[in-house]
Amino acid sequence: MIEIRGLDHVVLRTVDTPAMLRFYVEALGCPVEREIEALGLIQLRAGSALIDLVPVDRPLGELGGAPPGAEGRNVDHFCLRIADFDEEELRAHLEAHGVEPGDVGTRYGAEGNGPSMYVKDPDGNVVELKGPPDPGA
C-alpha cells in the first residue's frame, strides 16, 4: 500500500525567472535551496516541500514544450500551508511586494476547513495560501 505523507515538490516552467524568484523568495519567503545551472533548475524550500523553477529556455524547460500562458497552463493551482493567517498582515505584506491579494474564504484542505487566499505568480500560476484549520473544524 502507498502512504502519502504530503506534498514533496511542484515543478513550474517559467518564462521570467527573475520575476518568479522575486515572488517566491521575496514575497512568499521560500529560500533558494539549490541550483543546477547546467540544467536550468532552481529549487526553493517551501516548508517540508520544494518548488522547482525551470526556465523554458534551458535544457529541462525545453523538454516541456511551449511556455506557460493563459491558454495552456501547466498547473491549475497548488496550495502552500502557511503558519499564521492574519488577513490584514498578509495583505499588507503581499502588496508591499507588488502581489495582488485575492479574496479570503474558508476552504477545505488537508487539515480541514480554514482560511485561504489565492494569488498569482508572475507566470500566472495560481498559488493558494492556506492558514491553520478553524478550531473544531
> What is the mean pLDDT of each successive set of 10 residues along the chain, which is 137 residues long?
75 91 96 92 92 85 72 75 92 95 90 91 89 80
Q: Residue 137's pLDDT is what?
A: 56
- Considering only CA atoms, give the Rg of the chain: 15
Measured CA to CA, the distance from residue 124 to residue 84 in angstroms comes to 25
Q: CB neighbours (10 Å) of residue 72?
A: 9
24 forms beta bridges with: none
d(CA 51, CA 127): 11
